[in-house]
Structures are given as C-alpha cells and as structure tokens.
Amino acid sequence: MNTLLQGTALHRAYGPTPALRGVDIEVTEGEIVAITGPSGCGKSTLLHCLAGIMRVDSGSVRYRDQDIGLWSESARSKLRRTEFGVLFQFGQLVPELTAGENVALPLLLGGAKRREARKTAEEWLDRFGVAELADKLPGAMSGGQQQRCAVARAMVTEPRALFADEPTGALDVLTGEQVLGEIVRVARERGMAVVLVTHEAQIAAYADREISLRDGALDPTGLGLRTHA
C-alpha cells in the first residue's frame, strides 16, 4: 500500500514544555493506526500535527508526498475539510445548528448547493442510525447521538483519513463500542485511513497497529517504562 501520511522527526513545544520530541510515524492508505500512551505523552499533539491542525516546530508532515507544513492556513483548512475528517471527544457540533445542518456544513463550505448537501448529510446520518435526528438541535440529543452526528460530519466529505481523538471518551462502553465499530466498518469499506488516539487498550485493539508514546517520544515497548535499555 502507498504511504498516505509521513511524519519525520516531529518536534513541537508549548512554550518551554516539549510535547513532541522527534517522533517518526507513517500511515499507509486504508490503515487504522492507534496512538496510545498515558496522559500528557503528546498523543493529541501528534494527531493535531498529522492532521495539519497545528504546525510543527521542526520536522515535516507529508501528505501524499507534499509537505503540508509549507502550506498556508487556508490551504490546510481546505485539506482538513476535504481530504481529512476530524473527530473529538465532544463539543464539536455547533449548538445552534440542527444535526442535518451540522453534517452538511463541510459540504456547504465546499460550495455545494444547500439541497444536495442536505440530502448527502441525511444519507450519512442514516448510515449511523440517527436519520430521525436531522432536524434536532445538539442540545436535544444524548451524548451518543451527538457523537454519531459528529462522526457523520467527519465522514460526509468521504475523506482519505479520519483523525479521532478519544472519540468514545465521553460515551458509555456499549455506545462507544457501537460508534467505534461503525467507524471501523465504514473505514474498511471505503479504504479510509484512521488515526485513533486513545489511552485504552480495548479501544486501541480496533486498530491494525499501535504506536505508543511516552514523554513525547516513541515508546517501542508500549509499556511506559521510563528506562529501557
């Protein structure tokens, strides 16, 4: 399979605090990769850098052999909107927009006609079993329903890669499994790569491969040992 994303010697610090200290990572097309590690190990930062949400201090992130670090913010916005899907733990839906409008938003931003965007959005809501919520506001939905809408929004543009940061963190075990199972099934069906950040082994097991981080660096044992010879 071809390489979709390649991060080389990624460094990123928040002020004086380093979050990534030279991470190398590669994601091939259609692959599901889990990034694991304890709190504060830099896994969310790595996801943000790979998704082009955040710039790296040094090192390069290449998407299909193009260094996206050199792109303008608006070019990267467009990339995230069209080629990537992004999913967080919670709070990503616009509270004033209905579920249907939320899901249609990326399409509308891409210039789609409102009617067509609406239709596609409804198809995706239906795929995740929440078609009946299209006209509801996020505030009137359960956490699981909101997250399903968020997944539909992340996938509505049929991206090449989905970036999910603890996507089931705010859900109960069963709902979380259902949502994750649906994500994995759609990803496999469409050959979509998934980068999944989690601190739970059970969630990481949905991936083909696991990458562990510790203190901003790769942790080959995955055991969080401070010293390994």
Partner 1 sequence: MSTSHVLLGLLAGGPRHGYELKRSHDERLPQAKPLAFGQVYATLGRLERDGLVEQSGQDRDGGPDRTSYVITEAGRARLGEWLTEVEAPAPYVTSALFAKVVVSLLASGERTATDYLVAQRTAHITRLRELTAVKTDSAAAVGDVVAADYAIAHLDADLRWLQTTLLRLADLNEEMNP
Partner 2 sequence: MRPATLFRLAVAGNRTDHLRTALTAASSALALAVLLAAATVIAIKNGESGENAHYASSLLAEPGLRPGVIAALVLLAVPILALAGQSIRLGAPARDRRLAAIRLAGATPGQAVLIAGAETVAAGVIGSFMGLGVFLLLRMVLERRNAGGELLLPTDVLPSVLWIVILMAFVPVMAGLVGALLLRQVVISPLGVVRRTRKRGPWPWPGFLIVVGLVIFQLPAQIKGIDVGTNRWAVLLGGGVALTTIGVVLGTGWIAHTTGRLLLRFGPRPAMLLAGRRLMADPWSGSRTLAALLASVVIGAIALGFRISLVTQFEAWNRYNAQNHEEQLGAGAPEGFYTGAVDLIMVAVGIGVTVAAAGVLISLAEGIVARRRTYAALTAAGVPGRTLSESVLWQTMLPLAPALLLAVTSGIGLIRLTGTEVVAPTVQLTVPVPVGSLALLGGGAFLIMLIATGVGLVVLRSSTDLEELRAA
**Tokens 């390994």 sit on residue:** 228
- Please, which residues bridge with residue 170 across strands? none
CA dist list (Å): 193 to 5, 100, 171: 10, 25, 23
Instruction: List the one residue from 27, 35, 103, 165 that touches partner 2 (CB under 8 A).
Output: 165
147 CB-near residues (< 8 Å, 6+ apart): 90, 167, 168, 170, 171, 175, 179
| Residue 124 found at the interface with partner 2 (CB under 8 A) | no
Query: What tokens appear for 47 in the block?
Result: 């996801």
SS3 167: coil
- Please, which residues bridge with residue 66 across strands? 63
Instruction: List the one residue from 93, 121, 185, 195 that touches partner 1 (CB under 8 A).
Output: 185
Nearer to partner 2, 33 or 155 (CB): 155
| Residue 91 found at the interface with partner 2 (CB under 8 A) | yes
| Residue 222 found at the interface with partner 1 (CB under 8 A) | yes
Please answer whether residues 61 and 45 qualify as being in contact, where contact means their C-beta atoms are separated by less than 8 angstroms. no
Choose from partner 2, partner 1, none: what does 75 bind? Cβ within 5-8 Å by kind. Answer: none
- Please, which residues bridge with residue 7 across strands? 25, 61
Instruction: List the one residue from 11, 21, 62, 81 that touches partner 2 (CB under 8 A).
Output: 81
Nearer to partner 2, 11 or 222 (CB): 11
How many residues in total does the chain contain? 229
The C-alpha atoms of residue 120 and residue 16 are separated, in whole angstroms, by 45
Site string for partner 1, 77-106 (x = CB under 8 A): ------------------------------
Can you give the binding site for partner 1, defined by CB under 8 A? 177, 181, 184-185, 201-202, 204-208, 210, 221-225
Can you give the binding site for partner 2, defined by CB under 8 A? 14, 44, 48, 51, 53-54, 73-74, 77-82, 84-86, 88-97, 101, 105-106, 108-109, 114, 137, 139, 153-154, 165, 169
